[in-house]
Amino acid sequence: MLINIEVDGFVNEFTARKDETFSEEALCLIYDRISIRNPDYVFDLTEICGAYVEEYAEGIAKDYGIDLDGCSDDDAILEAVLEWLRDRTTVVGVINYSVVYCTSFWLSHIEE
């Protein structure tokens, strides 16, 4: 479904669908990023779910085999993961130790 809505409506669309892909904070970060980069973008919630990821730093490290040797605490793990992601894609934001980032495949279409 293609819709053009404000941030509250955007968050509510995910909530109404019982979609737990993103936290409310992550949805706000995603909405802000798209709204700033491409104010004329018509929101496609399915596309957004494919374009963005929210995951804890440790999960990202495990999924991508990021070397965490020398990372003695959660802050060090987060920094290692952020460095790795920033070399490969766009980091939208961090909520505690959860990272919101773009998948590179979708980034150019959404942020034209």
Q: pLDDT tens digits, residue range 28-73?
A: 999 889 888 887 777 777 888 888 999 999 999 999 999 999 999 9
CA dist 41 and 89 (Å) reads 20
Confidence of residue 1 (pLDDT cuts 50, 70, 90): very low
Instruction: Look at residue 112 in the predicted model and tell me its pLDDT.
Output: 46
Structural domain for 12, as ranges: 2-110
Q: Residues 6 or more apart from 10 whose CB is under 8 A from it? A: 27, 31, 43
More confident residue, 76 or 16: 76
Mean pLDDT of the chain: 84
Would the pLDDT of 27 be above 50? yes
Q: How far apart are the first and last CA of the chain?
A: 20
- Number of domains observed in the structure of the chain: 1
| Cα 21–chain centre separation | 10
> CA nearest 103: which of 69, 62, 54, 68?
54
